[in-house]
């Protein structure tokens, strides 16, 4: 059985690593890997960390690239590879433009598609953009849907997907998170050591911030930054903020224009995943417009303030581990104040149960994929 795994960004490889690791345990399964490099630097950091060497690297990233550019390059460069390899399945994860274009390219070449993290929805095509439409496109052509939660499965059923093709597996991001969290942090030379960013010695509470979504470019991102500035002014002696800033000029320039030079705000370059987990473990709470970190932070009991108006991960909101706060300054500041001042409010979120999985999603996905070959599969 031939499995062809495609990813383009750091979150994709983080979530596909457990699947790759488990699939390689099967004797009768051949695994090949293709990186589109939709994001180059951040992808390479993680490939190196986990010693994953792609069989193919499309190397498509360009400065200020658009979704249309990414999609066109994936189509042009991926199709000849798929025709050469003729895999039984491509495996893709999530909702990037790499994922949508790869799914369509496989469909055009009559190759089956397995979609990890299927069924996430906001039902607003502009939020997140372009991810909401990307994942809906994948759903229409996928042959296997690996839903992280029951809610995601329900979304797929409402859209007419055959229940026999849907499997609730948990999210493999939890697998990767637990794997990394169990490593000896002191034995690795990770980004934060190079930045000389000492966390244990600081008596202030650390707030971790990640904000880079396309729909927040412009005024929403500026509102977020002014909110952070206000919070640090109110609690100058109590908190500090670490903000790994995305390299996209729309993010980098706005953030540095507003937040550079503030004593208790550390603006740092994007960090490797190991460093991100280290920051998560040492944080008090998280403020983010990202998707994956909404699933990762609850594994460490860290409350999440989601800097968006909608989320495709409502399970976290319902479980009480996360709260939607939007991008308006007053609301963001007030919700942050609650977590800093009100211990009861903080504990209510910090002690809620993580709804995203038990760390065995990769194992389940690999087993299901291997079983579709129709032949006896052994280790």
If you write DSSP's letter for every residue of 174-200 in order, what string do you get? HHHHHHHHTS-GGGS--HHHHTT---T
Mean pLDDT of the 307-313 span: 91
pLDDT of amino acid 64: 81
Is position 214 annotated as part of the catalytic site?
yes
Mean pLDDT for all residues in the chain: 91
Residue 167 reports pLDDT greater than 90: yes
Residue of 57, 88, 143, 214 with catalytic role? 214
Percent of the chain residues topping a pLDDT of 70? 94
Greatest distance between any 2 Cα atoms in the chain: 64
Residue of 121, 135, 145, 246 with catalytic role? 246
pLDDT tens-digit map of 172-213:
999 998 888 887 777 666 677 767 666 655 688 999 999 998
pLDDT of amino acid 354: 84
Whole-model pTM?
Answer: 0.79
pLDDT tens-digit map of 118-141:
999 999 999 889 999 999 999 999
Residue of 12, 22, 93, 117 with catalytic role? 117
pLDDT of amino acid 24: 93
* Separation of alpha carbons 23 and 27, rounded Å: 9
pLDDT of amino acid 379: 47
Is position 212 annotated as part of the catalytic site?
yes
Residue showing tokens 């699933």: 295
pLDDT of amino acid 272: 78
Mean pLDDT of the 80-84 span: 98
pLDDT of amino acid 12: 92
Is position 117 annotated as part of the catalytic site?
yes
Residue of 39, 212, 213, 308 with catalytic role? 212
Lowest pLDDT segment from 176-185, 187-196, 333-342, 367-376: 187-196
* Separation of alpha carbons 85 and 349, rounded Å: 48
Percent of the chain residues topping a pLDDT of 90? 72
Residue showing tokens 């980098």: 252
Lowest pLDDT segment from 84-98, 177-191, 210-224, 341-355: 177-191
Residue 227 reports pLDDT greater than 70: yes
pLDDT of amino acid 151: 94
Residue of 12, 22, 95, 312 with catalytic role? 95
CB atoms within 10 A of CB 369: 26
pLDDT band at 342 (very low <50, low <70, confident <90, very high): very high
Is position 39 annotated as part of the catalytic site?
no
pLDDT of amino acid 278: 85
Mean pLDDT of the 32-59 span: 85
Residue 32 reports pLDDT greater than 60: yes
* Separation of alpha carbons 338 and 303, rounded Å: 11
């Amino acid at each position: 059985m031939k499995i062809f795994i495609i990813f383009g960004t750091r979150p994709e490889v983080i979530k596909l690593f457990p699947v790759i690791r488990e699939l390689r345990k099967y004797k009768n399964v051949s695994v090949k890997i293709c990186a589109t490099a939709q994001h180059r630097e951040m992808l390479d950091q993680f490939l190196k960390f986990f010693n994953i060497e792609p069989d193919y690297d499309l190397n498509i990233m360009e400065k200020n690239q658009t979704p249309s550019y990414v999609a066109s390059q994936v189509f042009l460069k991926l199709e000849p590879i798929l025709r050469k390899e003729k895999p039984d399945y491509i495996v893709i994860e999530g909702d990037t433009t790499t994922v949508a274009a790869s799914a369509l390219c496989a469909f055009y070449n009559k190759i089956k598609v397995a979609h990890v993290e299927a069924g996430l929805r906001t039902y607003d095509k502009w939020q997140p953009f372009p991810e909401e439409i990307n994942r809906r496109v994948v759903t229409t052509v996928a042959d296997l849907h690996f839903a992280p939660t029951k809610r995601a499965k329900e979304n797929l059923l409402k859209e007419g997907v055959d229940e026999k093709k849907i499997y609730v597996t948990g999210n493999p991001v939890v697998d990767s998170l637990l794997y990394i969290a169990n490593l000896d942090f002191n034995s690795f030379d990770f980004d934060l050591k190079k930045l000389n960013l000492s966390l244990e010695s600081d008596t202030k509470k650390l707030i971790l911030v990640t904000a880079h979504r396309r729909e927040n470019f412009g005024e929403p991102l500026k509102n977020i930054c002014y909110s952070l500035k206000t919070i640090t002014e109110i609690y100058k002696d109590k908190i500090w903020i670490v903000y790994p800033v995305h390299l996209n000029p729309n993010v980098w320039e706005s953030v540095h224009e507003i937040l550079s030079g503030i004593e208790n705000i550390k603006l740092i370059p994007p960090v490797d995943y190991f460093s991100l987990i280290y920051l998560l473990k040492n944080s008090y709470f998280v403020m983010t417009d990202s998707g994956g970190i909404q699933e990762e932070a609850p594994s460490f009991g860290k409350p999440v303030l989601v800097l968006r108006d909608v989320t495709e991960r409502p399970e976290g909101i319902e479980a009480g581990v996360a709260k939607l706060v939007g991008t308006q300054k007053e609301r963001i500041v007030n919700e942050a104040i609650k977590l800093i001042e009100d211990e009861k409010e903080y504990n209510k979120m910090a002690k809620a149960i993580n709804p995203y999985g038990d760390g065995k999603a990769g194992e389940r996905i690999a087993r299901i994929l291997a079983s579709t070959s129709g032949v006896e599969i052994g280790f």
